[in-house]
Amino acid sequence: MMQQIRDTVDSIAKKQDISPDELHLLLTAEDSGGLEYLREKARACADAIYGDRIFTRGLIEFTNYCRNDCLYCGIRKSNGNAQRYRLTSEEILECCREGRELGFRTFVLQGGEDPYFNDDRVCEIVSRIRAEFPDCAITLSIGEKTRESYQRYFDAGADRYLLRHETADENQYRKLHPRTMSLTRRKQCLYDLKEIGYQVGCGFMVGSPGQTTETLYEDLQFIRQLQPHMVGIGPFISQHDTPFAQEESGTLDQTLRLLSIIRLIHPHVLLPATTALGTIHPLGREMGIQAGGNVVMPNLSPVSVRKKYELYDNKICTGDEAAECRHCLEGRMHRIGYRIVVDRGDYQP
Ligand code: 5AD
Ligand code: FES
């Protein structure tokens, strides 16, 4: 069994592709020696390109208003229990200032699809960050927009855009989203962003209700097609005020396997060990790095709003100041032999 797994791992690393059968084998294998080989091979692949350097991005969750109603998400518009908030431009800039002092050179502005932040307001914020922090990358993560809007943000100074595709399988997409949303449109957004010149990140949740090896295979194929610069994956975690409140969460084990597989089929990718991974296990982020990840994204949002950006239950770090998270992660990476670098952390082709 172990030999078969090793051969499969070597084969996917070599061709940078995976077949449905190979994926099935790697997601169901129980041989610990074989699984260790998967992890080691993925980690060696990341080491060869990025060495012991771990990139960091400061996440600023600037609004939890959202016009969408994704079934899994705690800030969906139907959740009347969510306490809504918006940060002002000045508050956002204050987060960036603190972040820059702490060594961040990338800011990720993430929010729900909030109509208040129209293109003029987004551009105003982006331009102000661009002017004050010329050496920092600006990443937006604010959902589906028209190509024209994406172009305007880019012209205002945004460099990167994160938009998880959530699942590349049509049926699965419909299970997770209201009818008004469409996978075709979401994929088109990602292609538009890439064409405009953004560094783009797609991604999906692991263990979302109804997900199968087949739908995951679609995700991996989509990653191969899109060739994103970043891929964000983390376990699905149920949120008590959503229709999926009673659904089982995704597992650490499956998420780690998928991180390794993604590293092997897309070696240069920027791959975060996500907060969701840190939420389902106290050492989840460390294990994510050891499975092939090379990015961590601590929170820079003001502590006063942290708990309100509750996409899923039990999210970690909601009571910790930015500086605490920064130092905490530094220690965590150090203990496993890696170091956080003060760097924009661009994709290395
Ligand atoms: N569990 C895990 N991840 C979630 N996200 C949204 N809701 C959940 C949840 N319940 C993820 C989505 C989204 C990202 C910002 O957070 O993939 O794209
Ligand atoms: Fe936030 Fe450890 S990363 S407290």
pLDDT digits (tens, 9 = 90+) for 233-284: 999 999 999 999 999 999 999 999 999 999 999 999 999 999 999 999 999 9
Ligand 2 centre to CA of 101 (Å) is: 17
CA of 172 to the centre of ligand 1 (A): 15
Q: What is the DSSP string of 184-232?
A: HHHHHHHHHHHHHT-EEEEEEEES-TT--HHHHHHHHHHHHHH--SEEE
**For residues 73-101, average pLDDT:** 98
140 and 109 Cβ atoms separated by less than 8 Å: yes
- Cβ–ligand 1 contact at 234 (below 6 Å): yes
Whole-angstrom distance, CA of residue 323 vs CA of residue 200: 27
Closest-lying ligand 2 atom to the alpha carbon of residue 328: 2
Residue 291 reports pLDDT greater than 90? yes
Asked whether the beta carbons of 110 and 232 are under 8 A apart, the reply is no
**Amino acid (one-letter) located at 258:** L
Ligand 2 atom 3 nearest Cα: 325
pLDDT of residue 339: 98
Separation of 132 CA from ligand 1 center, angstroms? 31
Angstrom distance (rounded) from CA 232 to CA 252: 15
User: How many Cα atoms occupy the beta-carbon half-sphere of 226 within 13 Å?
Assistant: 30
User: Is residue 114 within 6 Å of ligand 1 at its C-beta?
Assistant: no
Q: What is the pLDDT of residue 135?
A: 98
- Per-residue pLDDT tens over the stretch 19-35: 999 999 999 999 999 99
Q: Tell me the C-alpha distance between 217 and 169, whole Å.
A: 9
Q: Is the whole model's pTM more than 0.95, yes or no?
A: yes
Nearest ligand to the CA atom of 285: 2
Question: Is the distance from the beta carbon of residue 276 to the nearest atom of ligand 1 less than 6 Å?
Answer: yes
Which tens digits make up the pLDDT trace of 292-306?
Answer: 999 999 999 999 999
Cβ atoms 329, 340 nearer than 8 A: yes
Average pLDDT score, the chain: 98
Tell me: pLDDT of 2 over 90: no
Q: What is the mean pLDDT of residues 110-128?
A: 98
Decide: 60 in ligand 2 pocket, CB within 6 A: no
Q: Is the dihedral of CA 314, 207, 107, 186 positive or negative?
A: negative
Please tell me the distance between residue 299's alpha carbon and the centre of ligand 2 in angstroms.
8
* Ligand 2 pocket mutation, candidates 303, 320, 330, criterion most atoms within 8 A of CB: 320
User: Stretch 105-132: mean pLDDT, rounded?
Assistant: 98
Distance 149 CA to ligand 2 centre (A): 34
pLDDT at 302: 96
Q: What average pLDDT does this structure show over 174-203?
A: 98
Nearest ligand to the C-alpha atom of residue 277: 1
pLDDT band at 167 (very low <50, low <70, confident <90, very high): very high
pLDDT score for 1: 80
The residues near 225 (Cβ < 8 Å, ≥ 6 apart) are none
Tell me which of 329, 334, 340 to substitute to probe ligand 2's pocket, judged by most ligand atoms within 8 Å of the beta carbon: 329
Cα dihedral across residues 257, 259, 260, 265: positive or negative? positive
Ligand nearest to the CA of 323: 2
Q: Check if 164 has its Cβ closer than 6 Å to any atom of ligand 1.
A: yes
155 lines ligand 2 (CB under 6 A): no
